[in-house]
Amino acid sequence: MNRPGHPRRRWGWAMAGGLLALSAMLCGTSLAATDTDISNAPVFELVVRADQAAIAPFLTQHLALQRYRALSDLDEIELSRLLRDADTQARELLATLGFFNPQLRWTHDLSAQGRALGQVQLDVSTGPPARIAQVQWHWQGDVAENPMAQTQQQDIVQLWALPPGETFTQTAWNQAKNQALRQLVSERYPWGRLVSSQARIDTDNNRVHLDLTLDSGPSVRLGSVQITGADKYGAQQVERLARLLPGKLYRQSDLLEAQQRLVVSGFYDSVFVSLDPEAGGEVAPVKVELKESLRQKWVLGLGMRSDSGARVTAEHTHHSIPGLHWRAVSKVALDRDLQSVGLDLLAPPDSDLWRWNTSLKVDHEKRVGFQVNSQRWRAGRTQLGERIDRSYFAQYDSANQMGDIQGQKESISGNYAWIWRDFDSLPFPNRGLGLGVEVGTGVTLGSDREPYARWLVRGLAFMPLGKTAGRLALRAEMGSVVSRNTVNLPTTQLFLTGGDNSVRGYAPNSIGVTADNGLIVAGRYLASGSVEWQRPIVWNQQRTDWESAIFADAGAVTNAMSQVRAQIGYGVGARWRSPVGPVRMDLAYAQSLRKLRLHLSVGFTF
């Protein structure tokens, strides 16, 4: 590699990792020293100044010269030799960041106070960074010959992270190569490899020419599914959930989705799905290694909600009821405002992943000004997928409002629910879209029967703004009940809003219709929305697991569209990427109440 200012033009070759390896070698320069040479006070001070903010702390951290500041017997001669080595190492370190023509000026001030050998100062002018001039691709294996693979090849080239004009750094170079290889092996070619990679650097002109050779190997199809660990619940259930048909063209996402289906089924504590690494040919068996869950388990929980105080939960799961072989989940949840008991029964999946299910839920809920005892029973079928969930079911609702509002109301209905998700990463999405639709029609029960229809649409979108700017989270929800008269309809079939996941700043279900007696009751029309700016929190130039949030929410419930009056809440919050999912902490101001309210919640659901 040329030193800056050399009169002749030369071309330097840098293999992957070469610059970092050379830096590591230079860092190995050392003095012979024993423990008796070390004193507590440094014999000289190192100060680095640079024309770019990130350069000074980078060099300060990585320069080997720092190691010798505490050598009590260090003299000027040895320090001069160390400075020559440090100059070489500093240039190599700057080269890893794409600066191949830096101007370095070392100053040694023996008169500086407090140090035996004074102060060493390094002033850095980085000069212009090297930029990519050209990227040359070379292909070997099936991807070079198969017309069906041309789209995959084009995607790798188009999504290449270091196109011409981009700044070259060693880290970006390594990351770009890894990303290209991941794209190659993600579809058709699990045995793909990076044969060679070179970064040819023209130091005089700050230009870099990249050269890569990728070998895809053969196109691979799935072979037989080899299952281990399916003792309690059988191999047939594993095959139905995995849906990995022999002869299907390999896609890494298919294996990951199969693994996810098995995990979320609840029957398995751990699942590992992979191709047989010893296959190496055009047909590869799929290995599914399982650790089955206990046939029965209890889960006890103790938590805290900002709106209802302490919360105690208990859940019992029986994965295979004797004789029926359905899974039964019994739940109990108790807090200050809600006491709930539920039972869910779920059949094993058929070949299309549809399952029969039935559930019963009984709630006693304290709302603003009155209490509600409600029951809900469902029976139908459901299909859970990676992106789309579907279900259709019959439902019976009963609600008895106590206090100033009396009377039990009942209804029966037929319903269909559809949910579509397209998020890049769960449970911490950065971009994507979710859409949910529920429609149903039914009739109230009792002496005065009234037919009705009900629909609810909700959406959630994440829009990235950049690496440091974070993202926007947009949420919307709309619904209505279509009926000539909703007086006899159970309150559980009508709408209320407010709380953690709707309009923050207000208590849960506190936004509704104001009755003649001043109480807030459920209404037939619902509209709510939210916009939130989520931005990563950076500490010491490193992105942390925390994010800040600024948000504004609005929502309304009414019995007449002409009387819509939106309730508005806005505030700030923090997000933590915890091991159990996103933790949200929000301080919201309710505009109409002129009060602050703290909201705490855990998890991502849609």
Residues 312 and 269 in one domain: no
State the residue range of the domain holding 327: 295-348
- CA torsion 365-502-393-402 (nearest 10°) is 20
pLDDT of 126 reads 93
pLDDT of 370 reads 74
Considering the domain boundaries, does residue 564 fall inside one? Answer: yes
C-alpha to C-alpha distance for 437 and 141, rounded to whole angstroms: 46
Considering the domain boundaries, does residue 1 fall inside one? Answer: no
Residues 251 and 371 in one domain: no
Q: Where is pLDDT greater, at 98 or 17?
A: 98
Residues 402 and 304 in one domain: no
pLDDT of 605 reads 78
Does the pTM of the predicted model rise above 0.75?
A: no
Considering the domain boundaries, does residue 546 fall inside one? Answer: yes
Residues 375 and 514 in one domain: yes
* Angle of helix 235-242 versus helix 252-264 axis, rounded to 10: 130
pLDDT over 90 at 133, yes or no? yes
pLDDT of 18 reads 39
Residues 530 and 427 in one domain: yes
> pLDDT (tens digit, 9 = 90+) per residue, 213-245?
999 999 999 999 999 999 888 898 899 889 899
Q: Which of 164, 157, 152 is nearest to 137 (CA)?
A: 157
pLDDT over 60 at 582, yes or no? yes
For residue 90, the Cα-to-chain-centroid distance in whole angstroms is 37
Considering the domain boundaries, does residue 3 fall inside one? Answer: no
pLDDT over 90 at 596, yes or no? yes
Least confident of 114-118, 306-310, 557-561: 306-310
Residues 275 and 421 in one domain: no
pLDDT of 23 reads 38
Considering the domain boundaries, does residue 4 fall inside one? Answer: no
Residues 498 and 360 in one domain: yes
Residue 241's domain is classified under what CATH number?
3.10.20.310
> pLDDT (tens digit, 9 = 90+) per residue, 188-219?
999 999 999 999 999 889 999 999 999 999 99
pLDDT of 495 reads 95
CA distance to 69, 185, 204, 219, 475, per residue, from 250 (Å): 57, 9, 46, 8, 36
Q: Which of 125, 158, 192 is the last residue of a domain?
A: 125
Considering the domain boundaries, does residue 551 fall inside one? Answer: yes
C-alpha to C-alpha distance for 4 and 104, rounded to whole angstroms: 10
Residues 117 and 194 in one domain: no
Average pLDDT over residues 166-184: 94
Q: Which amino acid is at 303?
A: G
pLDDT of 174 reads 94
pLDDT of 386 reads 75
pLDDT over 60 at 37, yes or no? no
Q: Where is pLDDT greater, at 456 or 335?
A: 456
> pLDDT (tens digit, 9 = 90+) per residue, 258-292?
998 898 888 898 999 999 888 878 999 999 999 99
pLDDT over 60 at 92, yes or no? yes
Query: For the chain, how many structural domains are there in total?
Result: 5
Hey, what long-range contacts does 253-259 have (CB within 8 A, 24 or more apart)?
253/186, 253/187, 254/222, 255/286, 257/386, 258/288
Q: Which of 17-21, 183-187, 507-511 has the highest mean pLDDT?
A: 183-187
Q: Which of 292, 308, 326 is the last residue of a domain?
A: 292
Residue percentage of the chain with pLDDT more than 70: 91
Structure confidence at residue 307 as a pLDDT band (50, 70, 90)? low
Residues 138 and 204 in one domain: yes
pLDDT over 80 at 5, yes or no? no
Residues 118 and 162 in one domain: no
Residues 36 and 182 in one domain: no
Residue 363's domain is classified under what CATH number?
2.40.160.50
C-alpha to C-alpha distance for 335 and 356, rounded to whole angstroms: 31
pLDDT of 22 reads 32
Q: What is the DSSP string of 34-70?
A: -GGGB-SS-SSEEEEEESSTTHHHHHHHH-GGGGGTT
pLDDT of 195 reads 96
pLDDT over 80 at 121, yes or no? yes
Residues 489 and 462 in one domain: yes
Q: Which of 325, 348, 371 is the last residue of a domain?
A: 348
Q: Which of 196, 268, 185, 192 is nearest to 233 (CA)?
A: 268
Considering the domain boundaries, does residue 6 fall inside one? Answer: no
Average pLDDT over residues 127-141: 95
pLDDT of 308 reads 67
Considering the domain boundaries, does residue 503 fall inside one? Answer: yes
